[in-house]
Chains A and B, each alone.
Chain A
Amino acid sequence: MSADKILVALLSLAGMAFTYWFFLMKKDEVVMVSDAVDIIVEGGYSPSAISIPIGKTTKISFLRKDPSSCLEEVVLSEFKIRRYLPLNKKVTIEVTPKKEGTFPFSCGMNMFHGKIIVK
């Protein structure tokens, strides 16, 4: 095998390993929320993992800064909420979790994900 082919083989493998590490080994930093939290919607959700108390109403405000139509809706299926997020306008959703657990939320097309941890 010629040198260039060996180099390309190595680069391909490195690219695959990097992709795996970069996207799939990401650890979410959980933000503790007591009353209210602002989530910035830009290339995903920031913060993407929040911890909220059980039985208490928490205000989650989404502010979409990303024009991608992918992120134009947010779905909190556990709370039966699908809400349109206008660009650069805050949309506040109130949730009162009744049970403990981890509940995912996502964009309307289910490509960007976040989670709500209820404790």
Chain B
Amino acid sequence: MKGKGLLEGLWITLRHLFEREITIQYPEQMPYLQERFRGCLQFDYKKCIVCGLCTKACPNNVLSYESEPDPNSKKKLLISYTIDLQYCMFCNLCVEACPTGTLYFNHNFELSEYQRDDIKIVYEIPRSAQAVISEPVDSPIEMVDSDSEPAPQPDEEEAKKQKQINAMITALQKNPVKAVSKLVESEDQARILADILQADEKKLIRMATMMIEDREKAGKVALAFVNKELKDRQQEGGAGNEPE
């Protein structure tokens, strides 16, 4: 019959009229991402053994690092690790090459920056944290504690504590994400906490003191800070920046 195609077309558009829209209202509504979605390339310095396989695997020379020999062992010490994300084509070859699972993709796809230099992700591992990497201990604080003398005088202890706190403050100021990563569970939380602390000097000092004096309490306070910040962000702009 002539004109059947026209009626078919009308029927299709009529059905579409009442079907659900497939548009996602992006900033308010985050898209559903599959587990293996390749967002931003991330580097977990604690696992890195400085083998350099990732830099060899990368076809675009996105990855580079600096290292120096560890005077105490045969291992290498990582000084800095750079991911020049602007050349990354998210091919996953570095992730496959890494023997320790140091590199991974998270679900953050909002990678645009105002400055060209900001696209580069540079992980500078500070001196204090470098020891952390080489030592298999849990936290920088315990590491520092292990150096302490068997029975220090009260005054001396106080001075030492102050010294530790000062060291922690500098660590927090220099590389907050790394320094607080032990307090919270995920990288995202660490980043949020770092933002909070950098924005408020008082909070930073308080947190540093707490981290030296009472680590459990510091962890709890940190979590509270992160939760509050997340709630604020949610109130400000819909679902906030936490990727699903």
Co-assembled chains A and B = no
